[in-house]
């Protein structure tokens, strides 16, 4: 795209592609005085915007824990399913307790609570944020991202595939994408059109007080897949209006504020909640 003297924005969410993008292409786009932004999607564009909003003026961020919960009946493609299956049971590097640890994709599902969705089981997914956030939010002790499917049997099926792969009983889970896509359609009658996302952060505010804050969004009527498109649309509008003068290759992290998304959320009837989630007994809800 740089050689065609064009700007570039993508919705990629592959960890290596997004994380390696700036180093690989920055010089090329700067030489052409063009801008390239990768990952202009839910992660890391919206996720970083939410975290920046929740932790504004904080002294320190300790934990970041977030989860996407797609609606069962939302449109899905075989290619996307294959990409997800490619790291099912595969080792994933995750920042925990201030060090890199190895965990496994879609293994060990845990309960996650939402403001406007019933609780779901969520499991680790490999996304760029897991690598970008420890460097960007210096001092954070742990970063975790999970995906929570609506129908429990589907979540348990992914956990089973992860276990089989770890035991060497399944080599390439992505080869089953087409079959599992058909099976998922048959589960639609057990789910709904309601999906959402939660971002939870723990840290120290400007007064030195420990805070547990969360941002939730609920998207009904199968409108959830509109969210990944929003950052690219917002950035493209800015470019078209001449409101971005930067050049070079970048990830989407930090390019947008949460307020930029609010008109888009309203257009699709999405509802957001911001909460202090410290409970009376001093604990915090599941999913942190």
**Residue 282 pLDDT > 70:** no
Q: What is the pLDDT of residue 283?
A: 55
* Residue at 25 is within a domain: no
* Residue at 28 is within a domain: no
Q: What is the pLDDT of residue 170?
A: 92
The domain that contains 155 carries what CATH number?
A: 3.30.360.10
* Residue at 165 is within a domain: yes
Burial degree of 102 (CB within 10 A; 0-12, 13-18, 19+): exposed
Number of structural domains (the chain) is 1
Other CB atoms within 10 A of residue 121 CB: 20
Tell me the whole-structure pTM to 2 decimals.
Answer: 0.94
Q: What is the mean pLDDT of residues 281-288?
A: 54
Lowest mean pLDDT among 46-50, 141-145, 160-164, 277-281: 277-281
* Residue at 175 is within a domain: yes
Q: What is the pLDDT of residue 284?
A: 57
Q: What is the mean pLDDT of residues 240-263?
A: 97
How many angstroms separate the CA atoms of 95 and 140, rounded?
A: 9
* Residue at 111 is within a domain: yes
Write out pLDDT tens, residues 13-51. 999 999 999 999 999 999 999 999 999 999 999 999 999
Judge whether 2 and 8 are in contact, CB under 8 Å. yes
* Residue at 75 is within a domain: yes
Q: How many residues does the chain have?
A: 288
**Residue 281 pLDDT > 60:** no
8-state DSSP, 32: T
Q: What is the pLDDT of residue 4?
A: 86
Q: What is the pLDDT of residue 3?
A: 79
Q: How confident is the model at residue 2 (pLDDT cuts 50, 70, 90)?
A: confident
Write out pLDDT tens, residues 59-75. 999 999 999 999 999 99
* Residue at 94 is within a domain: yes
Q: Which residues pair with 110 in a beta bridge?
A: 122
Q: What is the pLDDT of residue 286?
A: 54
Per the prediction, the chain carries an average pLDDT of 95
* Residue at 26 is within a domain: no
Q: What is the mean pLDDT of residues 139-163?
A: 97
Query: What is the domain extent for residue 109?
Result: 42-225+257-276
Q: How confident is the model at residue 140 (pLDDT cuts 50, 70, 90)?
A: very high
Q: What is the DSSP string of 58-121?
A: -SEEEEEEEEEE--TTS---HHHHHHHHTTTTSEEEEEETTEEEEEETT-S-EEE--SSS--EE
Q: What is the pLDDT of residue 220?
A: 98
Residues 6+ apart with CB under 8 A from 259: 53
Three-class SS of 205-218? CCCCCEEEEEEEEE
């Amino acid at each position: 795209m740089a050689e065609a003297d064009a700007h570039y924005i993508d919705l990629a969410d592959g960890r290596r592609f997004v994380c390696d993008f700036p180093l690989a292409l920055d010089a090329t786009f700067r030489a052409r005085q063009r801008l390239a932004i990768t990952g202009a999607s839910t992660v890391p564009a919206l996720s970083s915007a939410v975290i920046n909003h929740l932790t504004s003026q904080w002294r320190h961020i300790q934990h970041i824990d977030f989860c996407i919960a797609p609606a069962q009946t939302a449109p899905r493609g075989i290619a996307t399913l294959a990409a997800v299956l490619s790291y099912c049971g595969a080792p994933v590097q995750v920042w925990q307790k201030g060090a890199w640890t190895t965990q496994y994709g879609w293994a060990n599902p845990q309960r996650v609570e939402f403001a406007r969705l019933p609780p779901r089981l969520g499991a680790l997914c490999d996304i760029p944020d897991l690598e970008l956030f420890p460097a960007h939010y210096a001092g954070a002790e742990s970063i975790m991202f999970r995906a929570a499917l609506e129908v429990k049997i589907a979540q348990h099926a992914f956990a089973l595939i992860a276990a089989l792969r770890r035991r060497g009983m399944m080599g390439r889970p992505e080869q089953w994408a087409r079959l599992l896509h058909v099976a998922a359609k048959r589960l639609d009658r057990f789910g709904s059109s309601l999906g959402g996302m939660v971002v939870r952060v723990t840290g120290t505010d400007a007064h030195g007080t420990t805070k547990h804050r969360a941002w939730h969004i609920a998207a009904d009527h199968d409108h959830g897949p509109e969210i990944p498109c929003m950052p690219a649309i917002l950035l493209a509008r800015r470019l078209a209006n001449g409101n971005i003068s930067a050049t070079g290759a970048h990830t989407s992290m930090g390019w947008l504020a949460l307020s930029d998304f609010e008109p888009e959320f309203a257009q699709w009837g999405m509802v957001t909640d911001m909460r202090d989630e410290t409970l009376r007994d001093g604990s915090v809800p599941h999913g942190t």
